[in-house]
Amino acid sequence: MHSKILKIANGDSFPVRWLKCELGGFGLVVTILLPSIFTNCRMTQKTKAVADRKETSQANDPIVIHRRAIAIDMHADTTQRLLDEQLDISRRLSDGHFDSVRAREGGLDAQFFSIWVEPELFGGGGAGAMKRAEDQIAVVRALPDRYPETWDLATTSADIRRIAAAGKLAALMGLEGGYAIDERLENVQRYHQMGVRYMSPAWSVSTSWAGSSNDEVGQTRGLNNFGKSVIREMNRLGMMVDVSHVSDKTFWDIINTSSKPIIATHSGCRAIVNVPRNLDDEMIRAIAKGGGVVCVLFYPAFLEPGWDDKKKRVDAEIASLVQKASEEESGSIAHKRIARDRVRREEYAKRLPRTSLSRLVDHIDHIAKLVGVDYVGVGSDFDGVQSTLSDLATVEDLPNLTRELLRRGYNESNVEKILGGNVLRVMEEVQK
Ligand SMILES: [Zn+2]
């Protein structure tokens, strides 16, 4: 059973709260339905007093609040696993960070699947990059056919609300890095027609038209005229512009070009961890001023001060191990990457300190205090990173985030905004 059905049907009425204390199965439903019937009939004072107490405790229960909210993750790389490892995500997987079972247990409602073209492997444009993107789009689009009882495809905020109300998971798509548009404006519309609803102009390698935060050329590269026309085309179509991964100069060119709110789908705050991948306070203010949203990622390297330096040292130590795993893998270039990442994941687990989700909430807190709670969301980067937070290790642990937010003093309305409400608002605004 999925709580959203009850929410839509009954609003915040009394029976709903009682029903929502049922979390794991159907066993409790019969017994908890009874008091709701009493509420509608004449109730003895005693019954009512007990009911009031229970309602109060339910209202403050992190799990109940979590289930009542629409939770949207703006970024996960499970797409490449679906394609390259031909995963069956309908069952609980023993590895990785995401599958349908754990998504449901974690109270997730909507997942933006990243369509990620790694330019070193598939080209920074051309037929190879386009094919790589289209193959990934195809596996996401196939989810509702493969798992009709679990997944439905969404492209709008209304879709997300409808699918959540039906008790299913909404699948959405974002293009990570603009390599796959192959420097042709008409391809923006092409991907939009396929259902892609956000795009970041560059990933870790600059495109000819936009700079990356990760490479030398990105340090001086902003948007050229073509890049600006891409942003305007995205505005026209109602595709969100994602600034995660872009260079500072490109960021400010986007701010000055876009007529619609912009998003960062998976970034942290430079005020806490000063790395190029994160956003400084001026950038966060600019996103908020335009009505956009900054979604904080769950990756320790960009959340915990000093962690990324430690990781770099470990990377140097394990370089030969990683190389060996790649050479021993006889499959495709994608499979070689999977082999390298497997070694990284195992070695990081052994050699690097764990970080708690409390640090993630520090970043959320920073944004909320700087610009307000209306401009912050979440984008896990699950299955795209080789290390996760100790108490938010997979999508299953998502309720822990709500628990920590409540502990820090955020109320239910704030939590709803952070988990997905702010993203829904931006989607509506961008698609107007
Ligand atoms: Zn990324």
Cβ–Cβ < 8 Å for 48, 85: no
Ligand 1 centre to CA of 297 (Å) is: 9
Amino acid at 21: C
Burial 291-300, CB ≥16 within 10 A → b, else e: bbbbbbbbbb
pLDDT value, residue 388: 97
pLDDT value, residue 21: 31
Distance, CA of 270 to CA of 102 (rounded, Å): 31
DSSP 352: S
Burial level of 141, CB count in 10 A (0-12/13-18/19+)? middle
SS (H, E, C) 182-206: CCCCHHHHHHHHHCEEEEECCCCCC
Cβ–Cβ < 8 Å for 187, 180: yes
Count of positions (residues) in the chain: 432
Amino acid at 105: E
Ligand 1 centre to CA of 306 (Å) is: 20
**Per DSSP, what are the bridge partners of residue 246?**
212
Ligand 1 centre to CA of 252 (Å) is: 19
Cβ–Cβ < 8 Å for 427, 260: no
Cβ–Cβ < 8 Å for 215, 206: yes
Report the Cα–Cα distance between both ends of the chain, in Å, rounded. Answer: 33
Ligand 1 centre to CA of 233 (Å) is: 23
Ligand 1 centre to CA of 60 (Å) is: 35
| Structure-token pair, residue 33 | 């339905």
Q: Which region holds residue 236: left if phi is over 0, alpha if psi is between -120 and 50, else beta?
A: alpha
Ligand 1 centre to CA of 428 (Å) is: 24
Ligand 1 centre to CA of 153 (Å) is: 22
Ligand 1 centre to CA of 123 (Å) is: 17
Distance, CA of 249 to CA of 239 (rounded, Å): 21
Residue ranges, the chain, pLDDT below 50: 1-54
Distance, CA of 394 to CA of 400 (rounded, Å): 11
Ligand 1 centre to CA of 177 (Å) is: 9
Cβ–Cβ < 8 Å for 102, 394: yes
Cβ–Cβ < 8 Å for 322, 344: yes
Ligand 1 centre to CA of 196 (Å) is: 16
Distance, CA of 92 to CA of 312 (rounded, Å): 32
Sign of CA dihedral 146, 151, 152, 153: negative
Domains along the chain with CATH numbers: 3-59 (no CATH), 69-304+355-431 (3.20.20.140)
| Structure-token pair, residue 367 | 């944004």
Sign of CA dihedral 101, 102, 107, 109: negative
Ligand 1 centre to CA of 379 (Å) is: 10
| Structure-token pair, residue 163 | 């699918």
Nearest to 199 by CA among 75, 97, 286, 283: 75
| Structure-token pair, residue 75 | 């970024």
| Structure-token pair, residue 303 | 């959340």
Query: CB within 8 A of 424, min separation 6: which ones?
Result: 70, 72, 157, 160, 161
Ligand 1 centre to CA of 288 (Å) is: 21
pLDDT value, residue 55: 52
Ligand 1 centre to CA of 197 (Å) is: 16
| Structure-token pair, residue 140 | 């996401």
Ligand 1 centre to CA of 266 (Å) is: 7
Ligand 1 centre to CA of 176 (Å) is: 7
Ligand 1 centre to CA of 119 (Å) is: 13
Q: What is this structure's pTM?
A: 0.87
- Are β-strands 151-153 and 169-176 bridged in parallel, bridged antiparallel, or unpaired? parallel
DSSP 239: P
